Amino acid sequence: MEVEQIEIRDHVKRFAPFDDLPEETLNRLATQVEVAYYRAGSTILTFGQPIGDLYFIRSGAVEVYRRNGELYNRLSEGDIFGQMGLMMHKKVRFPATAIEDTLVYLIPDEIFQELWESDEHFADFVEIEDRSRLRAVVERQEKSNPLMTSRVRKLLSREPVTASASATIQEAAQLMTEEGVSALVLTHPGVRIDQDWKPGDSPIVAGIITDRDLRTRALAAGLPLDTPVSEIMSPDLVYIQADLYVFEAMLAMLRHNVHHLPVLDRHRPIGVLALSDIVKYESQSGLYLVSNIHHQQDVRGLKRLTRDARATFVRMVNEDANSHMIGSAMAGIGRAFSQRLLELAEEKLGPPPIPYCLMALGSMARDEQLIVTDQDNALVLDDSFDPDQHDAYFRELAKFVSDGLAECGYAYCTGGIMATNDQWRQPLRVWKDYFTDWIENPSAKALLNSAIFFDLDGIAGHTEFTEQLKTLVAEKAQNNPRFLAYLAHAALNRTPPLGFFRDFVMESDGMHRNSINLKRRGTAPLSDLIRVHSLACGSRAQNTFNRLRAISETQLLADGVAGNLRDALEFISIVRIRHQSQDIEQGREPDNNINPEHLSSFERRNLKDAFQVISNAQKFLRHRYHASGGGRIG
């Protein structure tokens, strides 16, 4: 082989789909390649012209268009084009233009056809997505962060210090001092932590107290030392199972704003995990930010912490946290802002006249919130609600919280999905009627506008109100195929940005022209279609990854499909997250719009794989639920 041919071979084999070809095949390919040069602005291919070569970009950049002139994709070093024409009548299907001085290798159609017919890896690359490639990328991401690979059990250094809930405050304080611990696990009277537990038995753990509880609930309140410790303990126990991952413990602390988690092995406590145990895995923990939020005395103080929220987001990205960790952490921070604003509102307006619950919707409810987000919330009021007596209070409360969230970087919802809207500030019985009507009397327009309400979570107040709504939805939705058909129709409103032959389809106008909105065209259609499947199988889960776990336990999807959806969601989310982080670090306002030419060829290939997963999943959704809905949805 000549020197130039060796150079061609060595360069081509660096890129898929040539990287797995045998050496002898690469050698033969290199000897038959021709080289062509195109100046910036020159036409490479025009629609309908005969084509006899596969085009491999050695250097430069190329734009590929649809036949009507719309931009399809931007390609750079290592990318190929022209394959669609080679597989369909040897006519160019997508015109191409050099946007920089460009050098291309022309691989003859004879070689292309041979590889397409005989090499499965090559055929997969030019025809369909390669699932294993996307799976490998996601797995490498997860294994790079110790929060994802370390079990809670490994962080424990000693058995828990326990006492009976009937012990006095003085006895508890003395025991904590003697043992040198900051938290004490309390058991029900007469129950030992080493006894066997059987279904039907009373729980072993009754609650927990910490140093802070002794200071704020006992000493500051002037309680007698012989007061039973059960009067100051936290009875609504937040705990973690020993074999869960450290990141799940971190998310539990974020969600509930606690600094100590009892660790259970099944039902028996085997230790207590403290905030300090987790911080060594995360250099600048969002847990501290949540605690700081709850200590602010006014909206101005909360607003100052928005910079810290962005810094926490960037740090988690730089520490290789996965999208589930980041989305859950940012949702936890958003919840903390909402909760503290509610407390400040009650300090200003006085105690609420009736019980209520602040209900989060959308990404916060799903624990998938990022740094670019708006506010979606509602108020669920007790059924004793009387508009004449109570609505003025709750209208003011909603306005205070909504304005405060806007000050803290959570933009007003352009669709009006906020508790300031009278329609979304209603008693529980009205909310039950809303959901019943959406499910039992569905319409395309209603569900297009109300689908967000099927991602719901109580974040403050009487959260049992939203638990009742979740139960109602889970019970009614799975038994109503017509509702699922309409919801599926709404979920198909947003499609992935792929053309006929897996090329990117860009935005064609507006300020984000020639870019891709990774939320609108990627994560949103994924979460929409997964929501439909989740409701179909009766799941109460809200987080999209948890919904996929519930779906995978049924026969609803073919083997492997749920895993493919998970990998696609993770990869698209991480590209979106990194883009926002880079915007922040470089002083730009973060958004969801990426320009494919700013991505590596590695990222572009895997994004195409992920978008193809969405496309296939939407085809299945259309077939399954329109068929079960008993007719065409229009």
Q: What is the CA radius of gyration of the chain?
A: 29
Per cent of the chain over pLDDT 90 is 53
The pLDDT of residue 239 is 84
The pLDDT of residue 199 is 55
Cα(170)–Cα(174) distance, integer angstroms: 6
What's CA 164's distance to the chain center, in Å?
A: 41
* pTM exceeds 0.85 for this model: no
Q: Rounded mean pLDDT of 59-82?
A: 85
Which of the pair, 575 or 122, is modelled with greater confidence? 575
The residues that bridge with 488 in the sheet, in sequence order, are none
The pLDDT of residue 202 is 58
Written as six digits, the tokens of 178 are: 């003697």
C-beta of residue 63 within 8 angstroms of C-beta of residue 73 = yes
**Is residue 131 predicted with pLDDT exceeding 60?**
no
DSSP string for residues in 386-421: -HHHHHHHHHHHHHHHHHHHHHTT-BPPTT--STTS
Tell me the torsion sign for CA atoms 21, 23, 25, 31: positive
Helix-helix angle 246-256:323-349, to 10 degrees: 10
Helices (H) and strands (E) in the chain, counts: 24, 20
C-beta of residue 167 within 8 angstroms of C-beta of residue 229 = yes
Written as six digits, the tokens of 76 are: 């750079």
**Is residue 207 predicted with pLDDT exceeding 50?**
yes
**Is residue 134 predicted with pLDDT exceeding 70?**
no
CA distances from 512 to 213, 504, 517 (A): 52, 15, 8
Cα(618)–Cα(490) distance, integer angstroms: 11
**Is residue 70 predicted with pLDDT exceeding 80?**
no
Q: Rounded mean pLDDT of 268-283?
A: 74
Q: Rounded mean pLDDT of 90-111?
A: 93
When pLDDT is cut at 50, 70 and 90, the band that residue 133 belongs to is low
Cα(352)–Cα(387) distance, integer angstroms: 14
Which of the pair, 419 or 67, is modelled with greater confidence? 419
Q: Rounded mean pLDDT of 461-470?
A: 94
DSSP string for residues in 139-161: HHHHHT-HHHH-BGGGG--SPPP
The pLDDT of residue 265 is 83
When pLDDT is cut at 50, 70 and 90, the band that residue 634 belongs to is very low
Of the listed ranges 133-137, 526-530, 545-549, 574-578, the one predicted with least confidence: 133-137
Q: Rounded mean pLDDT of 435-442?
A: 94
> Any alpha helices (H) in 203-245, and if so which ranges?
211-213
Find tokens 């508790």 and name the residue: 419
The pLDDT of residue 205 is 83
Cα(624)–Cα(280) distance, integer angstroms: 48
C-beta of residue 49 within 8 angstroms of C-beta of residue 571 = no
Cα(545)–Cα(368) distance, integer angstroms: 10
Cα(84)–Cα(359) distance, integer angstroms: 49
C-beta of residue 186 within 8 angstroms of C-beta of residue 233 = yes
Q: Rounded mean pLDDT of 212-230?
A: 89
**Is residue 243 predicted with pLDDT exceeding 60?**
yes
Q: Which residues contact 460 (CB under 8 A, 6 or more apart)?
A: 335, 338, 339, 342, 357, 358
Q: Rounded mean pLDDT of 539-547?
A: 94
Mean pLDDT of the chain: 87
Residue 620 burial (C-beta neighbours within 10 Å; 0-12, 13-18, 19+): middle
Q: Rounded mean pLDDT of 189-214?
A: 73
Question: 539-574 burial string, b = 16+ CB within 10 Å, else e?
Answer: bebbbbbbbbebbbeeeebeeebbbbbbbbbbbbbb
Cis check for the bond before 17: say yes or no (omega within 30 of 0). Answer: yes
The pLDDT of residue 630 is 38
DSSP 91: B
- Give me the amino acid identity at 634: G
DSSP 465: H
C-beta of residue 368 within 8 angstroms of C-beta of residue 348 = no
291-335 residue pLDDT tens: 789 889 999 999 999 999 998 899 888 877 889 889 988 999 999
The residues that bridge with 240 in the sheet, in sequence order, are 263
**Is residue 198 predicted with pLDDT exceeding 60?**
no
User: Which residue, among 555, 587, 551, 588, has the nearest Cα to 566 in the 3D structure?
Assistant: 551
Domains of the chain, CATH where assigned: 3-127 (2.60.120.10), 129-150+283-634 (no CATH), 155-280 (3.10.580.10)
Q: Rounded mean pLDDT of 211-225?
A: 88
User: What is the rounded end-to-end Cα distance, in angstroms, of the chain?
Assistant: 63
**Is residue 192 predicted with pLDDT exceeding 50?**
yes
C-beta of residue 162 within 8 angstroms of C-beta of residue 185 = yes
Question: 56-74 burial string, b = 16+ CB within 10 Å, else e?
Answer: bbbebbbbbbbeeeebbbb
Left, alpha or beta for 167 (phi > 0: left; psi -120 to 50: alpha)? beta
Of the listed ranges 121-125, 373-377, 483-487, 579-583, the one predicted with least confidence: 121-125
- Give me the amino acid identity at 64: V
The pLDDT of residue 632 is 37
**Is residue 129 predicted with pLDDT exceeding 80?**
no
The residues that bridge with 183 in the sheet, in sequence order, are 210
C-beta of residue 93 within 8 angstroms of C-beta of residue 100 = no
User: Which residue, among 207, 203, 202, 201, has the nearest Cα to 163 in the 3D structure?
Assistant: 207
**Is residue 342 predicted with pLDDT exceeding 90?**
yes
What's CA 314's distance to the chain center, in Å?
A: 16
**Is residue 525 predicted with pLDDT exceeding 90?**
yes
Cα(358)–Cα(377) distance, integer angstroms: 7
Q: Rounded mean pLDDT of 449-455?
A: 92
C-beta of residue 242 within 8 angstroms of C-beta of residue 249 = no
Which of the pair, 499 or 464, is modelled with greater confidence? 464
Written as six digits, the tokens of 277 are: 């145990």
Cα(375)–Cα(194) distance, integer angstroms: 47
23-51 residue pLDDT tens: 999 999 999 999 999 999 999 999 989 99
Of the listed ranges 8-22, 28-42, 117-131, 361-375, the one predicted with least confidence: 117-131
What's CA 38's distance to the chain center, in Å?
A: 43
Q: Supply angle C-alpha 515, 523, 577, rounded to 5.
A: 70
Cα(171)–Cα(287) distance, integer angstroms: 31
